[in-house]
């Protein structure tokens, strides 16, 4: 399984184009842009419909399924589907998401658009072109699901944005999963009084610990922090702090190779 990060930023991206804070100034100085979070699996499965076009050289033409986490504007941008309509793609496309997602996208489809909108609920499972897709519960302001995706090669990915501390039933559902790759949101950095359905540098390590105890994250799991906002310290500092937690940063456009069995369940984990 090849997981390409199309975006690793929060809703406003990082840097926020309107902001003059030190963290945004640092990103700008280094020419680093983090688009709203979205990922492409094996060129065929798209996680979230971000409002920004993908990084240089990445095409969405091979996508047959889109998994949308929720209907917030940084994850469910109708313009992304409109752009597809304008090139008159005739291949079928399935777009999956909690019920507000089909409701929001339906008015944007053309009468002959070969797009199938499918509502999913936490606990639901779908099978698409050799992929097993499970929707897990999130803790967010609107109906939201996280996606647990197993590829035809057996590699397994957890896409976990946008969410606050994980619901107990989600940790339970992930028990023993030994994910090869986990994309876990970490929106707020050192701001901990945000009072939102997001994680920060205080709650992120707690979720990783819970996932480790459940055998969902193991020594072989590649944990990548996503949905990063400018409340985080500058990237070099953040990378160091994440490394101490067993997680990492990757730039937009990076591809993470997930090999099945890379993450092996340690005895007693
Ligand atoms: Zn978001
Ligand atoms: Zn800023
Ligand atoms: Zn959201």
Question: Which ligand sits nearest to residue 18's alpha carbon?
Answer: 2
Query: How many Å lie between the centroid of ligand 3 and the Cα of residue 100?
Result: 13
Tokens of 117: 């909108």
Fold of the 2-256 domain: Metallo-beta-lactamase; Chain A (3.60.15)
Q: What is the pLDDT of residue 13?
A: 98
pLDDT in tens, 232-267: 999 999 999 999 999 999 999 999 998 887 665 443
User: Within 10 Å of residue 252's Cβ, how many Cβ atoms?
Assistant: 23
Please tell me the distance between residue 68's alpha carbon and the centre of ligand 1 in angstroms: 11
Cis peptide before 162 (omega within 30 of 0): yes
Q: Which residues have their alpha-adjacent CB atom under 5 A from ion ligand 1?
A: 11, 74, 162
Which CB contacts under 8 angstroms, 24+ apart, belong to 238-246?
Answer: 238/189, 241/201, 242/186, 245/204, 245/205, 245/208, 246/208, 246/217
Residues lower than pLDDT 50 in the chain: 265-269
Which value, in Å, is the radius of gyration of the alpha carbons in the chain? 18
Structure tokens at 238: 């953040």
Instruction: Measure 86 CA to ligand 2 centroid, in angstroms.
Output: 35
Q: Tell me: the pLDDT tens digits for 112-152?
A: 999 999 999 999 999 999 999 999 999 999 999 999 999 99
Task: Give the distance (Å) from ligand 1 centre to CA of residue 73.
Answer: 8
Identify which ligand lies nearest to the alpha carbon of 17. Answer: 2
* Residue-by-residue DSSP string for 53-118: PPSTT---TT--EEE---SSTTTB-HHHHHHHHHTT--S-EEEEESTHHHHHHGGGS-TT--EEEE
Q: State residue 263's pLDDT score.
A: 62
Which pLDDT value is given to residue 268? 34
CB of 217 within 8 A of CB of 211?
yes
Determine the pLDDT at residue 266: 42
Centre of ligand 3 to C-alpha 261, Å, is 32
Rounded to whole angstroms, what are the CA distances from 164 to 71, 101, 186? 16, 20, 9
Q: 72 C-alpha to center of ligand 3: Å?
A: 5
pLDDT computed for residue 265 by the predictor: 47
Report the C-alpha gap between 39 and 28 in whole angstroms: 23
* pLDDT at site 267: 38
Q: What is the pLDDT of residue 61?
A: 97
* Neighbour-count burial for 54-70, b at 16+ CB within 10 Å, e otherwise: bbeeeebeebebbbbbb
Cα distances (Å, whole numbers) of residue 16 to 32, 230, 241: 12, 7, 22
Q: Enter the pTM of the model.
A: 0.96
Q: 191 alpha carbon to ligand 2 midpoint, in Å? A: 13
């Amino acid at each position: 399984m090849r997981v390409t990060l199309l975006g690793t930023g929060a809703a406003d991206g990082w840097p926020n184009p309107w902001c003059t804070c030190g963290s945004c100034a640092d990103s700008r100085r280094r020419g680093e842009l983090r688009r709203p979070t979205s990922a492409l699996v094996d060129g065929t499965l798209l996680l979230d419909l971000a409002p920004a076009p993908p990084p240089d050289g990445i095409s969405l033409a091979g996508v047959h399924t889109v998994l949308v986490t929720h209907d917030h504007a940084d994850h469910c941008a109708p313009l992304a589907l409109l752009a597809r309509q304008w090139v008159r793609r005739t291949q079928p496309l399935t777009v999956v998401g909690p019920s507000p997602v089909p409701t929001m996208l339906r008015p944007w489809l053309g009468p002959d658009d070969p797009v199938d909108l499918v509502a999913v609920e936490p606990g639901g499972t779908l099978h698409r072109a050799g992929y097993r897709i499970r929707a897990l519960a999130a803790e967010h302001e609107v109906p939201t699901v996280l996606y647990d995706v197993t590829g035809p090669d057996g590699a397994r990915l957890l896409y976990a944005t946008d969410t606050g501390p994980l619901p107990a039933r989600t940790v339970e559902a992930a028990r023993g999963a030994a994910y090869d790759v986990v994309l876990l949101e970490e929106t707020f950095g050192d701001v901990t009084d945000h009072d939102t359905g997001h994680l920060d540098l205080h709650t992120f390590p707690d979720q990783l610990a819970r996932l480790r105890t459940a055998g969902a994250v193991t020594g072989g799991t590649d944990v990548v922090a996503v949905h990063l906002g400018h409340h985080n310290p500058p990237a070099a500092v953040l990378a160091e702090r994440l490394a101490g937690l067993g997680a990492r940063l990757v730039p937009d456009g990076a591809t993470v190779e997930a090999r099945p069995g890379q993450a092996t369940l340690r005895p007693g984990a």
